Amino acid sequence: MSDIIQLLPDHVANQIAAGEVVQRPASIVKELLENAIDANASKIELIVRDAGKNLIQVVDDGKGMSETDARMAFERHATSKIKGTEDIFKITTKGFRGEALASIAAVSQVELKTKQKESTIGTNIYIEGGVFQFQDPAQTADGSNFLVKNLFYNVPARRKFLKNNNIEFRHVIDEFQRIALAHENLEFSLFHDDEPVFRLRKGSQMQRIVDIFGRKLQPQLIPIKEDIIWCQLHGFVAKPEGAKKTRGEQFLFVNGRFFKSPYFNKAVQEAFEGLLLPGYIPTFFLFLELDPEKIDVNIHPQKTEVKFEDEHLIFALIRSTIKRSLGIYNVAPSLDFERDPQLDEMMQKSFPSKGNNANIKMPEIVVDKDYNPFLEERGVKQSEIQNLAEMYHQNIAAEPSKINLFEDEDFDEDLMRLPNGYWLFNKGDRTLMLDLGRMHRL
């Protein structure tokens, strides 16, 4: 019996790998935008046509690539981000697997123009269906210009499964927004069929959220911030009136990378317990910063799944911090002014005290203990006036003739008339109530 196992040609292997990395136009948008960020770009422009099916172009002003690096970038598992296995567990860049460009080139027609700032001339490379076509010197601007055309032109079975342009462009916008939200210090723009969709200037985190989702959201946003020894949490949650029945404005980031976590979404939901109508989901933009060695992003080629060393601790931190902020901004009453006991317990297990040198800053609950949102501002009620009147009658009913209310005549002029014939007035350092009807009978 003859041998039947053989190595697949590179272009076939690349097409198989592309199935994990490139699922739709939005997948390419994500990879190219992340490459631009890793190249230290300060300005990134995204251009798409036909929702990205026929053209995706990303232009950046980053550091660019040399002629050799431009050619190597399209080889499988070729990357500048890591060099050994130890680097996988302390990743600070967006990309690192060395699969994206090879996978994209395997199922499309790719042209790259790139130039380093210190070079006088750049390079132009063209690859079609994973097959290298040519590479020439070229006059081009500093940075990189990626052009991806005719996605899945050589895999008709994949192309026919793409959705209509509205759906595919919605996915493109989702990826663009996620990356733009995490990098408010960069300038982004998006054009679709030659029409501008977003022009985002660099600015604050709040400004970036408002530029993307509109100014109507701004008054609803409550800042979230907690800084402890092992993790920083910051961002915004919307007040309960900003909650929606559909998902779409729930964003979690760790070290500048968007990720999905139903578990952490539940932490936010629990923080809003009792404040939302059934079926409504809170709007939030939460950013976690922690040691890269405490997380693992090498779970899936799309890198939207992240494993945490102690996700239960992160869960408690998110819930406790949001609850505290809701209390500070008087969105919800805080009847328990102590720290989340679950967070305390887990912190003690994860970071045991070492003598008197342990100095771990815990999340603190800072609230106004005298504030009670259930109490309305009170004026003088009729029942209280009646009680005062009854006290007056009880005090003078026994021997009214022996009580002299008028030892002298230095009454203050500020009199106040009350219902049922009573008057209040000041006499020296005392306030007296006068029943005109009873005075008349004395």
278-298 pLDDT, tens digit per residue, is 999 999 999 999 998 888 887
Res 145 pLDDT > 50 = yes
Q: For the chain, how many structural domains are there in total?
A: 3
CB atoms within 10 A of CB 94: 24
Range list of β-strands (E), 186-306: 187-192, 195-200, 221-228, 231-238, 250-254, 257-259, 284-289, 295-296
**Do 226 and 145 fall into the same domain?**
no
* pLDDT band with cut points at 50, 70 and 90 for residue 185: very high
Q: Which residue, 103, 100, 92, 85, is CA-closest to 35? A: 100
**SS3 of 96, please?**
coil
Among residues 187, 203, 219, the one where a domain terminates is: 203
d(CA 271, CA 33): 33
Residue 361 has pLDDT above 60, yes or no: no
Same domain, 111 and 246: no
Distance CA 254, CA 288 (A): 5
303 versus 258: the higher-pLDDT residue is 258
One-letter amino acid for residue 155 of the chain = V
pLDDT value at 408 more than 80: no
Same domain flag for 327 and 194: no
Least confident of 23-27, 369-373, 420-424: 369-373
Identify the CATH number of the domain in which residue 171 sits.
3.30.565.10
**pLDDT (mean) for 400-425:** 56
Shared domain for 71 and 214, answered yes or no, is no
Between 70-79, 186-195, 228-237, 248-257, the lowest mean confidence (pLDDT) is in 70-79
Q: Is residue 369 part of a domain?
A: no
The answer to whether the CB of 97 falls within 8 A of the CB of 301 is yes
| Whether 86 and 135 share a structural domain | yes
**Model confidence at 396: pLDDT above 60:** no
Between CA 285 and CA 206 the distance in angstroms is 10
| 375 within domain boundaries | no
Same domain, yes or no, for 189 and 255? no
In a domain, 316, yes or no: yes
CA dist 259 and 89 (Å) reads 17
Would you state the pLDDT for residue 336? 47
Mean pLDDT of the chain: 82
**Quick one: CA dihedral 240, 245, 249, 254, positive or negative?**
positive
Rounded to whole angstroms, what are the CA distances from 32 to 22, 37, 301? 12, 9, 14
pLDDT at position 187 over 90? yes
251 beta partners:
285
Q: Which of 203, 232, 267 is the last residue of a domain?
A: 203
403 vs 77 pLDDT, higher one: 77
Mean pLDDT calculated for residue range 362-372: 58
Percent of the chain, pLDDT > 90?
53
Distance CA 23, CA 29 (A): 11
pLDDT value at residue 403: 45
**Residue 405 CB neighbours (<10 A):** 11
Check whether residue 52 and residue 192 sit in a common domain.
yes
Average pLDDT (334-343) is 52
Q: Domain span at residue 179? A: 10-203
Q: Kindly report the pTM of this predicted structure.
A: 0.73
Q: Are residues 189 and 278 in the same domain?
A: no
User: Both 352 and 411 in a single domain?
Assistant: no
Asked whether residue 413 is assigned to any structural domain, the reply reads: yes
Angstrom distance (rounded) from CA 70 to CA 78: 11
Token pair of 36 as six digits: 């631009």
Among the residue ranges 147-151, 185-189, 277-281, the one predicted with the least confidence is: 277-281
Band of the pLDDT at 363, cuts 50, 70, 90? Answer: low
CATH number for the domain that contains residue 312: 3.30.230.10
Residue 158 in any domain: the answer is yes
What is the rounded CA–CA span in Å between residue 336 and residue 12? Answer: 61
| Residue 16 falls inside a structural domain | yes
Cβ neighbours of residue 432 under 8 Å, at least 6 residues apart? 405, 424, 425, 426
Instruction: State the Cα–Cα distance between residues 55 and 151, nearest whole angstrom.
Output: 8
DSSP assignment of 276-305, as one string? S-TT-B--EEEEEE--GGGEE-TTSTT---
Residues 143, 276 within the same domain: no
Task: Indicate whether 228 and 178 sit together in one domain.
Answer: no
Is the residue at 433 inside a domain?
Answer: yes
Q: Which two tokens stand for residue 155?
A: 């895999």
Residue 198 and residue 213 in one domain: no
Higher pLDDT, 198 or 427: 198
What letter represents residue 253's amino acid?
A: F
Domain final residue pick, 168, 203, 238: 203
pLDDT value of residue 229: 86
Asked if residue 386 belongs to a domain, the reply is yes
Looking at residue 401, its pLDDT comes to 46
Q: What is the pLDDT of residues 109-136, one digit of tens each?
A: 999 999 999 999 999 999 999 899 999 9
